[in-house]
Amino acid sequence: MKPVITNLYITQNVTLITLINVPSPIDQRAKIFSALADAGINIDMVSQTTPFKEVINISFSLNDDDFFNAIQALKVFKSSIPDLRIEVNSNNTKISLFGEAMRHTTGVFAKALELLVASNVDVKIITTSESDISFLIYSSDEKKAINALTKHYNIGI
């Protein structure tokens, strides 16, 4: 039987930015991410809330080195979106689990999350695809998370 998780990848020095009170029309999001792209910033993990009272919150990750330029690119939106709040949390680690067998296996995400919970690892943001699960965690929890996941899935880094 092929293992469900075959690889674990680590990305260190990750910043999480959360934009609060973004107007929900899609054009606002397009403008925001276009401004970041124009500033040469590569966005990785993205998560947004469902619209509530015509606003959303968007969280996304980027390299710690791009933090200052990202904030500069986002500040211009404060004039057109007066209620916009920008929250920043740097020095995080992204841990990604990969496995083609995830496509047809139930409970993989639940088990990975249980392993992190049992290791007292707090998860800030999660993204998934059919063959990948990524968790953004505090860098201080990196070793605990890696130990729990590599031991359970019998994989190296």
Per-residue pLDDT of 7-56, as tens digits, reads 999 999 999 999 999 999 999 999 999 999 999 999 999 999 999 999 99
The predicted structure's pLDDT at residue 154:
92
The predicted structure's pLDDT at residue 110:
97
Give 13-91's CATH code, choosing from 2.70.98.10, 3.30.70.260, 3.80.10.10, 1.50.10.100. 3.30.70.260
| CA 106 – CA 31 distance, rounded (Å) | 37
The dihedral through the CA atoms of 116, 131, 65, 57 has a sign that is negative
Question: Is the model's pLDDT at 157 over the cut of 80?
Answer: no
CB 87 within 8 Å of CB 70: no
All CATH 3.30.70.260 domain ranges in the chain, comma separated: 13-91
- Report how far apart, in Å, the C-alpha atoms of 49 and of each of 18, 56, 77, 85, 107 are: 11, 6, 19, 15, 24
> Whole-prediction pTM value?
0.93
- Name the residue among 36, 45, 96 with its Cα closest to residue 67: 36
Q: What is the pLDDT of residues 93-122, one digit of tens each?
A: 999 999 999 999 999 999 999 999 999 999
- Report how far apart, in Å, the C-alpha atoms of 132 and of each of 19, 106, 128, 146 are: 25, 13, 6, 16
Amino acid in position 116: L
Question: Is the model's pLDDT at 2 over the cut of 80?
Answer: no
Q: What is the pLDDT of residues 46-91, one digit of tens each?
A: 999 999 999 999 999 999 999 999 999 999 999 999 999 999 999 9
